Structure 1
Amino acid sequence: MLDNGKPTSLAVLKKCRKFPTVKLSFFSEFKNFVVSETGKKSFFKDITVRFSVGQLQESPVCCFFKMFLYQTMVYVTLDKRSFKNWNSMWLSEAIYRTTALLKLERPIMNFNDKPDRSWSKAYKWQRYKGTDILPMWIADTEFRCAEPILKALHQRVEEGIFGYTLPDHDTDAIEAVVAWCQRQYNWKIDPSWLVWTPGVVPAFNVAIKAYCQAGDTIIVQTPSYPPILAAPAINKLNRICVETVAVDGRWTLDFDALEDAAADPKTSLFIMCNPMNPLGTVLNQHELDRIATICRKHNVMLCSDEIHCDLILDNVPHLPAGAHPALAEYSVTLMAASKTFNVAGLGTSFAIIPNEKLRLAFNHAARGILPWVTATGLAATNAAFRYCDEWHQQELAYLKDNRDYLVSEINKIEGLKAFSPAATFLMWVDASGLRVNDTQAWCEAKGVGPSAGRDFGDKDFFRLNFGCAREYLVEAIKRLQGRKN
């Protein structure tokens, strides 16, 4: 109940009957505060209504909640330091604009499910259709989407009309992205910095068109996923590859090679991937500082593909390129909900470009080439960033267990070895110890279909996708060990 003993909390306790204890603690300055009936109706309009720190700071209502969730006990504290000219309608407005962290019902996702994706013509499963090869290649997961996303899509479909939707008009999705960046990375972005794109791959190709001239050279790190490696040639430009090196059981950039590549007067753009795909490395502050120093020293623009940034499995932070003081005015940061929440098929991502001139150049280069993102993609992104924190945490825990199992078992197989990736659901496996001419053919002959290392820049490796039910991983290990059922 409320600290002041007011009956206002009775409705809260009634709605929270599934929780052993719910305590709402208010500062004494608000002991006479009574929630209006309008506020109550808004609060309980949907059982999944939640509170957020970040979004409230952006609300016209000058207030914020400090929220701590300890399993079934909830503590919410109002901080009067941020209150100005509030009234009894603040709750209605705040809840409307700030749904994010606390669900009164907390469904548990069963990530052990093995859904049949054959009917949906899923690309991952189409490749090996009609064979006994287990597909573990393309970077999407086998996880059913979180229920709030499915609910949002059902609501959008029920409307029954799919006319033009200008992304800039979807203020709900925009506010969700702004709040997500604040909450996840402590990065305060302005809504005007957002540029919606139908995927990060078209986005970094647009960046090339926007910021490079004929004859320019583009830096890419290797290994890297195929669309990044292909982008310079697609745009009829030169490519220089900077290799990664193993240091203390972790992959990192060869910074001397990066310095040399950036020093080339023809070099105008560096396209990097953070977290790295396929390596799973998350750049730390020292590494990002070095990248910033090198790029600024040689006047090289940075385009940072950060699509896996919400899939960090170790206790390390994600540091967005655009949040770095030395890079904010000279970079494009690419993000999406697609990898984390398994909605890649909805074709929606976004670029964050703080510099107005760079943003205008990007939009100009995209004219007549990039379509608007889809209405369903906007709905899914909004729901993912507002309502799916619990699902997200469950997913990370499951992926971490999968990763630990897989890296342990891979390193027991003669001829194979792998580092533990700090992020993503992808494992880069060194198969050079097999001493075979074609590592992909070796895997497929055993009934496992990974991504071929040669497509990433190293034929002696392959990439395994562990974003799936544990049963699939156990079966894959059996097959790689030569114990196929």
Structure 2
Amino acid sequence: MEVINMNFDQVNQRYGTYSMKWDGAQNVYHNPDVIPMWIADMDFQSPQPVIDAIKKQAATGIYGYTTEPNMTAIPQIIATWLQQQNHWTINPDNLGYSAGVVNGLGLAIRALTQKGDAIITQTPLYGHFKIAVENSKRQLISNPLIKKDGAYSFDWDNLEKQISDNQVKMVILCNPHNPTGRVWTNEELKRFAQICQQHQVIILSDDIHSDLILPGNTYQPLAKIYPEYQDHIITFKSPSKTFNLAGLQFAYYYTTNPDYQKQMQSAAAYASNPDLPTAFALPALTAAYQDSQDWLHELLAYLADNLQWLTEEIETQTPAQVTRSQATYLSWIDVSYLRCSEDELLTALDAGGIGVQTNREFGLDEQAGLFIRLNFATPRELLETGVIRLIKVLQQLEKD
């Protein structure tokens, strides 16, 4: 099938499309002219095969309940994709499904731990990890990553101490990591799993960004790298970030542990079947995984160019440091040199017309420094306007 919409420079009008990123920005920022670079979805159209599949489904004119994915070809399509992308051979029968990765994490937390149990994750963290844990009445333990020479790594001694001291029952791993963009090495993943194995800690691995690996980097699933502990690892994935399908509400998870599967499916049934996909999710996934590899290849090249450009612009015009992301379309910018509070930074950015997220969204207080997460999955024209606004604000704050 010919791919015809690979013009990532095309600026798409998203106002009035029920976009949380654009329409919803008016409820978050005060400046009506703000360029929203906060929520992690892209300003690019999805691949043409996906658009065509959704149009075909829409043309039926009937949007009733969708069949369960395991009653279709979807499990094998996912298995084939994981084999192609990650050289990971899975049994399709071991797949489970949820409305999104966060929904799946919530199911696992409620199904496999008890109220009051301690769950650990690394900070800076993806904010919905905190919400999923605390809304389930569990205790969140923050395990800070070490930042050295602009790169992030695990603090192994502290990780093991925190697990032991708090009798941690579960850990949420982000692979690759959001917001820092780290792709964990095979050695890091093995050591992480070995520590969890020693303390019998269940691992939830959020791998939603695992197809967005920037050129020159390599991702591996933890369950593949360390099969010795795979029965206690649940891997969560979705086409949503990769192909800009978050609004279709579909994700999947994989575990070789049948008890985990049963308990999560029971929790899903109790929660009124949040694992059933929308009418458009399954045809969209099929088209994405079977017919959109060329689009993804071009996307990754475009994202890498965007990241290189914004890094050079920001670091040559301000003292800010842009983390050398290895994955995702999210840049993590250290502006700790500024002598202002986080609230003052946010107010200035809003007034300057740039909508981003800062420390508190990622479990960091100002003692850890001052950071900005900026979404660069946007046409270069918009990126340039946004980054110019960001630089202007940072330069003004430095003078004040």
Above 0.5 in TM-score? yes
Residue number in structure 2 paired with 1:462: 372
**Distance of 1:299 and 1:431 partners within structure 2:** 39
Residue number in structure 2 paired with 1:121: 18
SS of match in other structure, 2:133: helix
1:351 aligns with 2:253: yes
**Distance of 2:267 and 2:244 partners within structure 1:** 29
Residue number in structure 2 paired with 1:94: none
1:414–1:433 CA contact under 8 A, matched in 2: no
Residue number in structure 2 paired with 1:158: 59
Structure 1 residue 169 displacement after superposition: 4.7
1:363 aligns with 2:265: yes
Residue number in structure 2 paired with 1:479: 389
**Distance of 1:254 and 1:365 partners within structure 2:** 34
Structure 1 residue 445 displacement after superposition: 2.4
Equivalent of 2:158 in 239, 242, 257? 257
SS of match in other structure, 1:188: coil
1:321–1:327 CA contact under 8 A, matched in 2: no
Residue number in structure 2 paired with 1:332: 234
**Residue pairs, 1:292-331, within 5 angstroms:** 292-323=193-224, 324-331=226-233
Residue number in structure 2 paired with 1:52: none
**Distance of 1:183 and 1:296 partners within structure 2:** 29
Letter of the 1:122 partner, please give it: S
Structure 1 residue 248 displacement after superposition: 4.3
2:116–2:138 CA contact under 8 A, matched in 1: yes
Letter of the 2:213 partner, please give it: I
**Residues 5-30 of structure 1, C-alpha deviations (whole Å, 9 max, x = no match):** xxxxxxxxxxxxxxxxxxxxxxxxxx
SS of match in other structure, 2:45: coil
Structure 1 residue 314 displacement after superposition: 3.4
Structure 1 residue 381 displacement after superposition: 0.9
Letter of the 1:465 partner, please give it: N
Unaligned runs of 5+ in 1: 1-47, 49-104
Greater RCO (Cα-Cα under 8 Å, separation 6 or more): 2
**Distance of 1:127 and 1:451 partners within structure 2:** 14
Structure 1 residue 140 displacement after superposition: 0.1
User: When the two structures are superposed, what TM-score results if normalisation uses the length of structure 1?
Assistant: 0.76
Equivalent of 2:292 in 353, 365, 388? 388
1:401 aligns with 2:305: yes
Structure 1 residue 415 displacement after superposition: 4.1
1:167–1:378 CA contact under 8 A, matched in 2: no
User: When the two structures are superposed, what TM-score results if normalisation uses the length of structure 2?
Assistant: 0.91
**Distance of 2:70 and 2:96 partners within structure 1:** 12
Letter of the 2:203 partner, please give it: L
**Distance of 1:169 and 1:158 partners within structure 2:** 24
* Number of matched pairs: 381
Residue number in structure 1 paired with 2:102: 201
**Distance of 1:108 and 1:227 partners within structure 2:** 32
2:215–2:301 CA contact under 8 A, matched in 1: no
Structure 1 residue 366 displacement after superposition: 1.7
Residue number in structure 2 paired with 1:100: none
**Distance of 1:256 and 1:440 partners within structure 2:** 34
1:242–1:257 CA contact under 8 A, matched in 2: yes
**Distance of 1:364 and 1:149 partners within structure 2:** 32
Letter of the 2:174 partner, please give it: C
The verdict on how the C-alpha distance between 1:169 and 1:225 changes in structure 2, with shifts beyond 3 A counting, is: closer
2:331–2:375 CA contact under 8 A, matched in 1: yes
2:5–2:47 CA contact under 8 A, matched in 1: no
SS of match in other structure, 2:392: coil
Letter of the 2:385 partner, please give it: E
Letter of the 2:299 partner, please give it: E
2:3–2:48 CA contact under 8 A, matched in 1: no
User: Structure 1 vs Structure 2: percent identity of aligned residues?
Assistant: 35
Letter of the 1:276 partner, please give it: H
Equivalent of 2:322 in 418, 443, 448? 418
1:215–1:266 CA contact under 8 A, matched in 2: no
**Distance of 2:70 and 2:116 partners within structure 1:** 38
Letter of the 2:69 partner, please give it: D
Residue number in structure 1 paired with 2:353: 447
**Distance of 2:215 and 2:71 partners within structure 1:** 34
Which has the higher mean CA deviation after the structures are superposed, 235-244 or 366-375? Answer: 366-375
SS of match in other structure, 1:261: helix
**Residues 14-52 of structure 1, C-alpha deviations (whole Å, 9 max, x = no match):** xxxxxxxxxxxxxxxxxxxxxxxxxxxxxxxxxx2xxxx
Structure 1 residue 431 displacement after superposition: 1.3
**Residue pairs, 1:132-151, within 5 angstroms:** 132-151=33-52
1:337–1:349 CA contact under 8 A, matched in 2: yes
2:203–2:233 CA contact under 8 A, matched in 1: yes
Unaligned runs of 5+ in 2: 396-400
SS of match in other structure, 1:411: helix
1:322–1:352 CA contact under 8 A, matched in 2: no
**Distance of 1:172 and 1:163 partners within structure 2:** 19
The verdict on how the C-alpha distance between 1:107 and 1:128 changes in structure 2, with shifts beyond 3 A counting, is: closer
* Structure of greater Rg: 1
**Distance of 2:149 and 2:91 partners within structure 1:** 38
1:448–1:480 CA contact under 8 A, matched in 2: yes
**Distance of 2:297 and 2:169 partners within structure 1:** 39
Equivalent of 1:437 in 341, 345, 355? 341
The verdict on how the C-alpha distance between 1:153 and 1:161 changes in structure 2, with shifts beyond 3 A counting, is: same
1:440–1:453 CA contact under 8 A, matched in 2: no
SS of match in other structure, 2:145: strand
SS of match in other structure, 1:228: helix
SS of match in other structure, 2:172: strand
Structure 1 residue 328 displacement after superposition: 1.2
Structure 1 residue 365 displacement after superposition: 1.8
SS of match in other structure, 2:181: coil
The verdict on how the C-alpha distance between 1:466 and 1:391 changes in structure 2, with shifts beyond 3 A counting, is: same
**Distance of 1:212 and 1:307 partners within structure 2:** 22
